[in-house]
Amino acid sequence: MKFSKQVLDMDCEAKAAELSEKLREAVLKKLKKRGLVVAISGGIDSACVAALATRALGPDRVFGILLPERDSSGWSSQLGRKLCEKLGIKYQLHDIAPILEAAGCYRQRDEAVRSVFPEFTPDMKWKIVMHGDRLNTDAVNFFYVVVQVNGEERRFRLTPQAYTQIVAATNFKQRTRKMMDYFHADRLNFAVAGTPNRLEYDQGFFVKLGDGAADVKPIAGLYKTQVYRLAKHLGVIDEITSGEPTTDTFSLPQSQEDFYFSVHYSQLDLLMWARNHGVSTEEAAEVMGLTPRQVQRVYDDIDQKRRSTAYLHSAPLLLEPVPELDTFKIA
C-alpha cells in the first residue's frame, strides 16, 4: 500500500466484529474464564476495551474497576462511572491512595523532587517533562520537574538519580492497580484485560507487572487513531472520544508527548506505520509536511524505544529449560 494519510482508515464495524469474536474465543475458550475485568481510567483506551468486551461477552460478563489516587483528576472517575453506566456493566470504585501512602510512594517521590527543588511541599502541583521540541533537535533527552509555585510554573532539571526514583515510586500506582484487577479477577473467575494501544505496546509505554500485566490485550494491534475511531463506533461517550490522551499520573496535567513520545499520536501513528512498511524518509516527509531529517528523528526514536524497552515484553528468563510445560502453553 502506498503511504498516505489514509493508510489507517478501516471498516469499524468489520474490525469490531473481528475483535469481538477473537476476544470471546480468548476469554471463554483459551483462558477458560467467565468474563473480563477492565480497569477504567476515563481515557480512550480503557473505554474502548470496556465497550469491546461488552459487545463480545455481554454486560454481565464485564466488570469495571475505577482506581483513583491522590493525584488523579476529578473528571477521570466521573467519566469512568458514566461509561460503565452507559455500557450497563457492574463496577466498583476503590481509592488506592492509602495503599500508596503505606508503601511509601508519595514520600519517596517527594524526596526525589526536593533533591532538585528543596522548597517543594506535597501540596504543590507538579509533573515531569522531557526537554523541548524533539522533532527539531538532536539533543540528548533529559527530564525536568515542573512545579507550580504561586500560580507560576518553574522548571528544575532532574538528576538521573532523582528521575529514576520518581519513576520507581510512581510505578507503585500501576502495580497497585493491577493487584486490585487480579483480586477481582480471582474473585469472579474472570480474566484481566490489558488496555495498551499499538503505540504504547510497541514503544514500551507501560509498567512491567503494572499496566503491562494482563491475560489478554484486545487493542494492542490498533494504532491510537484507530482506537478513537473504534471507540466512537462502539458508542463510547463523547466526553471520552473527544478528549486528548493524558497520563493522569501527576497533579499537573501531563500529555504523553510531555513525558514520552516524540510527537503527537496523530503524527506518530502514521510515521510508525511508515517505519514498519519501509517508507523512506523522503516519501514520508512529503506526505506529512515535514523534512526528511525530522522524519529520521522520529524513526530513530521509534527504534531506540524498541531497543531500550524490549525487556518489558519478555517473560522471566529461565536458566534451564522446563520442556514438560510446553504442551500446556496457551497459543
> Domain spans of the chain?
12-102+164-311, 105-163
241 annotated ligand binder = no
251 annotated ligand binder = no
115 annotated ligand binder = no
Cell of 1: 500500500
Q: Which of 145, 188, 195 lies closest to 45 in space, CA to CA?
A: 195
Task: Look at residue 68 in the predicted model and tell me its pLDDT.
Answer: 97
137 annotated ligand binder = no
Cell of 155: 522548571
Residue type, 324: E
Report the pLDDT averaged over residues 27-54: 98
232 annotated ligand binder = no
* Predicted TM-score (pTM) of this structure: 0.96
Q: CA 193: distance to chain centroid?
A: 13
45 annotated ligand binder = yes
200 annotated ligand binder = yes
pLDDT tens-place string over residues 43-56: 999 999 999 999 99
Q: Which of 180, 175, 214 lies closest to 31 in space, CA to CA?
A: 214
Residue 161 CB partners (closer than 8 Å, separation 6+): 112, 115
246 annotated ligand binder = yes
Is the pLDDT confidence value at 273 over 90? yes
Percent of the chain with pLDDT over 70: 100
Task: Look at residue 326 in the predicted model and tell me its pLDDT.
Answer: 86
CATH no., domain 12-102+164-311: 3.40.50.620
Name the band, by pLDDT with cuts 50, 70 and 90, for residue 101.
very high
Task: Look at residue 84 in the predicted model and tell me its pLDDT.
Answer: 98
175 annotated ligand binder = yes
Residue 280 to residue 282: CA distance in whole angstroms: 5
44 annotated ligand binder = yes
43 annotated ligand binder = yes
**CB-hemisphere CA count at 13 Å for 321?**
3
pLDDT tens-place string over residues 131-188: 767 788 887 778 999 999 999 999 999 999 999 999 999 999 999 999 999 999 999 9
Task: Look at residue 227 in the predicted model and tell me its pLDDT.
Answer: 98
42 annotated ligand binder = yes
Name the band, by pLDDT with cuts 50, 70 and 90, for residue 317.
very high
Percent of the chain with pLDDT over 90: 89
- What value, to the nearest 5°, has the Cα angle with vertex 217 and ends 215 and 218? 130
Task: Look at residue 138 in the predicted model and tell me its pLDDT.
Answer: 81
30 annotated ligand binder = no
Is the pLDDT confidence value at 247 over 90? no
Name the band, by pLDDT with cuts 50, 70 and 90, for residue 91.
very high
When mean pLDDT is compared across 122-126, 218-222, 246-250, the lowest value belongs to 246-250
